[in-house]
Amino acid sequence: MEERAVITYIRSGDDILLIHKKTGHGAGKVNAPGGHIEPGETPVEAAVRECMEETGIVPVNPVLKGVLDFPFSDGLDLKGYVFYADEFFGELHSCEEADPFWCPVSQMPYDQMWEDDRLWIPALLEGKCFSGYFNFDGEKMTESRLQIFKEKKKILCFGSSSTWGYDWHDGSRLDENTRWPCVIKKYIPDCFEITENGVNGRTVLNYIPMKSPTNGKQSLERAVSQEKFDGVIILLGNNDIMAVPDISINRIAEGMGDMADIVWKTNPYARVFLASAVPISTKCDEDNLFASFFESQVNKSQRLAGAIKEVAERKGCTFIEAGKYATCDGTDGIHFDAASNKNLAIYMGDFVNQEIWER
């Protein structure tokens, strides 16, 4: 059972805001204010709400500094987003869940805190970003892995209209609070920089003469030769199926593999994520006949993920089955809505947090 939660460290000079937790998971321990992310909330919204509810203190512009995974032996799988703020307002008060207090940074009560805290809090207090994995059996830590980032990490999101942010209602571009390459920033530490590179109609293979931005291989080669990236997410495939109805899905998948080689030619240490396009759907808006035109390609679109997965595993890439997190149902059948954009961003963020490490 996966749960997502936030924890926020608010600093005032040489003091840090902590709580004696009285209820719920970790009751009896000292922690920072935090709690579960409610449906519809972003992590930063949850961070502000939880601080206000538990302590009366409201953080101003809290920054996401770390993402931590906590698998427990009882089946709980907790993902924690760690925020930091040095500006705030409000008056300190207790509540049923917690008794807050200001603690000198030099006197952090690690002996009363979760075992992993002493590993990453020093990095947080130094302003560093981090990712971590801490396995627990009850309150006993049985495995730990911590990555402290020494510098900015650059991620390229490369794809077609779904990456560009095509709004199926009117053909306009979705805003930065909706399209997934922007939303992903809310779920990864602030040391990550996201570069959007989506073009409507882009294919894996090069179908158009000369240097058209819709030619996937050509445009990717230009992108990665101009800037160094630590990670490249490639989300493509459906446009190839629609452009050439009799094309083999294996040819598309092999083309995705070729794109990984293009990345590594100039970015040899980059982590490449091959994401299969969200399958075409015939369950589209009744007033939109766009997808029904490609109804014969639906089955091929659904089978594409398996072919790309095979190539990704052979190449040593990370495979992402985008159709597990987003759907084209209820739209024009080939693009996805705001809810799917957000869900895809959350899980794309998970992959980035797990796979991008210092080399």
The CATH number given to whatever domain includes residue 345 is 3.40.50.1110
103 and 167, same domain (yes or no): no
**One domain for residues 135 and 258:** no
We report the CATH number of the domain holding residue 87 as 3.90.79.10
- Structural domains of the chain, count: 2
Same-domain pairing of 121 and 14:
yes
Same-domain check for residues 27 and 143: yes
Q: 133 forms bridges with which residues in the sheet?
A: 69, 145
Q: What is the DSSP letter of 12?
A: E
**Same domain as 207, residue 342:** yes
> Is 191 in the same domain as 302?
yes
Q: What are phi and psi of 268, to 5 degrees?
A: -60, -20
Q: What is the C-alpha to C-alpha distance for residues 225 and 268, in angstroms, rounded to an integer?
A: 12
**Parallel, antiparallel, or unpaired for β 140-149 and 129-137?**
antiparallel
Which residue segment(s) compose the domain that 105 sits in?
2-149
Residue appearing with tokens 């970015």: 267
Residue 297 token pair: 């390609």
Same domain membership, residue 244 and residue 174 = yes
Token couple for 139: 């309150």
- 3-class secondary structure, 316: coil
Query: 156 in helix, strand or coil?
Result: strand
CA geometry: angle 329, 331, 334, nearest 5 deg: 80
CA angle 147, 72, 1 (to 5 degrees): 105
pTM for the model: 0.88
Indicate whether 157 and 142 sit together in one domain. Answer: no
| Residue 141, strand partner residues | 136
User: What are phi and psi for residue 121, nearest 5 degrees?
Assistant: -60, -40
Q: What is the pLDDT along the chain (359 residues), one digit of tens a residue?
A: 679 999 999 999 999 999 999 988 888 999 999 999 999 899 999 999 999 999 999 999 999 999 999 999 999 899 999 999 999 999 999 999 999 999 999 999 999 999 999 999 999 999 999 999 999 999 999 999 999 998 889 999 999 999 999 998 888 999 999 999 999 999 999 999 999 999 999 999 877 766 688 899 999 999 999 999 999 999 999 999 888 878 899 999 999 999 999 999 999 999 999 999 999 887 776 565 555 556 668 888 889 999 999 999 999 999 999 999 999 888 888 898 999 999 999 999 999 988 886 55
What CA dihedral angle connects 60, 66, 71 and 77, to 10 degrees?
40
Whether 84 and 176 map to the same domain: the answer is no
Specify the pairing of strand 271-276 against strand 231-236: parallel
Among the candidates 102, 128, 149, a domain finishes at 149
223 to 195, 216, 228: CA distances (angstroms) = 10, 10, 9
- Among the candidates 134, 149, 164, a domain finishes at 149
49's enclosing H/E stretch is: helix 43-55
